[in-house]
Structure 1
Amino acid sequence: MFDVLTGNILPVFSVLALGFLLGRIGMVSGIEARAINRVSFIVFQPPLIFLLIARIDVASFPVRPLALYACAEIVAFVLTYQIARRIFGREVAEAWLLAMAVVFVNSLLYIWPISVLIYGLDGVTSIGAIVAWDSTVAFAFFIISIELLSGDRGAGAAVASMSRNPVLLAILLAVLTNLIALPLPAPLVTALDFAGAAAPPLTLFAVGVILSASPLVPTPVVITIAGLKLVLFPLMVWALISQFSPGDPAAPQFILNAAGPSGMMAFSLALLHGVRSDAITPVIIWTCLLSLIPLALLA
């Protein structure tokens, strides 16, 4: 466990921690970090997502555990949304993003690089399946739904904005490329690989800086949402796979991913659409910190 923690998990986490530290001491400002985050989102994440989806072998997906994982996401999302709305009285858009923070794990930018370090690129088929699912269906769902729910623009403007969203366009092009088995020229793959490799460290660093301005004292809503993310969601994934796909060799990686920290896109979407984020932000901070040991144990 110690070797996995120090050799694979902490090096990735250290980029986020570095951003947090430099933000705390004022060496990097929130304005600078937001600019970095925006550049990463619109320039470097699209090639990363495109190559992952375009080259992935869908036929190798562990279909049953992936379907069970998706079921756990749906149930946990609905439950968290109801808790955020009915118990804590949060507005619709904020409750929506708090529920997203429970089920949308930081798999692409955090769990994926950690898993590649541990298992090698050929040993992360299950994590790749989750990343593909979350990067296409789940991510697109949250981008589109929060555009409509946030109420900061009309339906026509929301549709126009989505049609220009580089991540959504990358997802669409990657799915089409995969479906028709379009060969990609080697120079293009090299360029996309080179650009995409910048997305995880840049995003982790920028978000670390932005999160450094947030209070760390947990409130009841933060404790509840973080608990649902770190305890309930992994238990749901484990229970469903154990019950309906017992002994599945893909199970450990699905549980590993479920135990990861909240995806930072919940915060990014809140920032983009002016949604209250005083609970979303510390949820991300605390789940990043508290997930270190469970990830080391499960890896």
Structure 2
Amino acid sequence: MLTTLAALTPVILVIASGYLLARIGLITGEQWRGVEKLAFYALFPAVLFRTISQADFSSFPTLDLGLALLVAILVMAGILLLLQPVIERIWGIAATRFTSIFQGTLRWNVMIALAIADNILGDTGLALMAVAMVFMILPLNIMSIIVLSRYASGPAPSAAKVLKDLYSNPFIISIAAGIVFNISGLTLPFVINDTLEIFSRAALPIGIICVGAGLDLSSLRRPGPALTMGTFLRPVLMPFLGFGFAMLFGVSGPAMVVVIIACSVPCASNSYLLAKQLGGDAKLMAEIITLQTLAATVTIPIALLIFT
């Protein structure tokens, strides 16, 4: 427990630092958008490409890890969709607001997950987390877009738009490029490798500083059923599902730690943008992201203590 807390505390403090930097106005709103773009389009893709291109996936339970996470998110999505009419009837949560609960329960903050995996497991954690991303990013993006198109009031995107969003995603591009390079058997020239390593060292702190800067505590209101459900379904249920399917597929050791991290980190901050673009309840989504990130300082250590 103490080892886990020691690894998580720096990540939590850097998130808090990002929040404070944003509140004192050292960097303004538009400047933060530029920093976020730098992390999203350059720094994190460098981490992913370098990690995947050099990883020895034959030494990892790659398929078992990926399938455990994939089945977990598909089962959770199925449960939520089956319960949507019940949720609306009993708690009066409109379909538009349900889309924020759906995203808040299923999507995950890759930046926080990578930072925690790196702190706890080092390069092995980064490589295993990259495997998790390969199996999770694509289906989660597709499911979120489909659910928003079905239940929200915004116009449904065309198939071409969905495909464009997916193949232009820098995380997906860097993962695909890393896989191709890895399969090719080539080795990165040391100059390129060292350059990417410098990018990688910058990515994790900048990424989680941006997470903190994006928190809006003023958006929180008195918790109602939708906010409570959207905040706590993920940290309470997803680690159980992830652990259960990881056990079923024979996942253990560092790979199990990565499964629990991927299932317990707060939801992705760009869920807000997707909700806004596709007619979801963006305000509720912002509240879920903020409250879930705050709660994660407690729920992540508990999940790791129970399941690893």
* 1:44 corresponds to 2:43: yes
Q: Where does structure 2 lack aligned partners over 5 or more consecutive residues?
A: none
Equivalent-residue separation in structure 1 for 2:142 and 2:2 (angstroms): 41
Quote the Cα distance in structure 2 between the aligned partners of 1:186 and 1:272: 42
Q: Which moved more, 1:158-167 or 1:42-51?
A: 158-167
Match of 1:199 in 2: 203
Provide Cα deviations, 1:173-203, integer angstroms capped at 9, x if missing partner: 1221122223221111111221233222223
Q: CA RMSD in A?
A: 3.2
CA distance in 2, matches of 1:13, 1:268: 24
**TM-aligned CA deviation for residue 58 of structure 1:** 2.2
Match of 2:69 in 1: 69
C-alpha deviations, 1:78-133, integer Å up to 9, x for none? 32345567522233xx7556434323333x422333233233434x3xx733x224
The superposition leaves residues 5-51 of structure 1 with CA deviations (integer Å, 9 ceiling, x where unpaired) of 2x321211222212222333444333222222122211222212212
1:121 has 2:123 as partner? yes
Whole-angstrom distance in 1 between the partners of 2:33 and 2:122: 32
Give 1:110's aligned residue: 112
* 1:80 counterpart residue number: 80
Counterpart CA distance in 2 for 1:84 and 1:175 is 37
Offset at 1:259?
Answer: 2.5
The runs of 4+ residues in structure 1 deviating greater than 6 Å are: none
TM-score by length of 1: 0.80
1:16 aligns with 2:21: no
Aligned to 1:236: 241
Mapped partners of 2:59, 2:139: distance in 1: 24
> How far apart are 1:273 and its partner, in Å?
6.0
Which residue in 1 is equivalent to 2:185? Answer: 181
1:220 aligns with 2:222: no
AA aligned to 1:99 is: F
How far 1:53 sits from its partner (Å)? 2.2
Query: Which amino acid in structure 2 is aligned with residue 64 of structure 1?
Result: D
Cα pair 1:47 1:195 within 8 Å, conserved: yes
Give 1:223 deviation, angstroms: 1.0
Partner residue in 1 for 2:170: 166
The 8 Å contact of residues 45 and 170 in structure 2, kept in 1 or not, is answered as: yes
1:145 Cα shift? 5.8
Report the Cα distance in structure 2 between the residues aligned to 1:287 and 1:20, rounded to whole angstroms.
15
For the 8 Å contact 1:4–1:118, the answer to whether it is kept is yes
Name the aligned partner's letter for residue 107 of structure 2: F
For residue 104 of structure 2, what is the amino acid of its counterpart?
Answer: A
CA separation in 2, counterparts of 1:144 and 1:70? 13
Secondary structure at the counterpart of residue 283 of structure 2: coil
Letter in 1 for 2:116: I
Q: Do the aligned residues in 2 keep the contact of 1:54 with 1:177 (CA within 8 Å)?
A: yes
Partners of 1:114 and 1:289 in 2: CA distance: 15
- Cα distance in 2 between the residues matched to 1:187 and 1:32: 31
Amino acid at match of 2:183: L
Q: Is the 8 A contact 2:52 2:175 kept in 1?
A: yes
Separation (CA, whole Å) in 2 of partners of 1:173 and 1:167: 10
Which residue does 1:290 correspond to in 2? Answer: 295
The structure-2 alpha-carbon separation of the partners of 1:198 and 1:101, relative to structure 1 and needing over 3 Å to count, comes to farther
1:75 CA displacement: 0.9
Tell me the equivalent position of 2:215: 211
Q: Conserved in 2, the CA contact under 8 Å of 1:22 and 1:209? A: yes
- The CA distance in 2 between the partners of 1:260 and 1:152, in whole Å, is 29
- Match of residue 266, structure 1, among 265, 271, 274: 271
Alignment partners' CA distance in 1, 2:165 and 2:241: 35
**Deviation of the 1:268 alpha carbon:** 5.0
> Aligned partners of 2:32, 2:45: CA distance in 1, in Å?
19
Distance change (3 Å), C-alpha of 1:80 and 1:30: farther
**What is the alpha-carbon distance in structure 1 between the residues aligned to residue 186 and residue 99 of structure 2?**
37
Quote the offset at 1:59 in angstroms: 1.7
> Identical aligned pairs, as a percentage?
21
SS in 2 for 1:278: helix
Q: Deviations over 1:109-168 (max 9, x none)?
A: 22333233233434x3xx733x22442232233445666746476544554555544333
Residues 162, 168 of structure 1: 8 Å contact kept: yes
Q: Distance in 2 between matches of 1:190 and 1:260?
A: 30
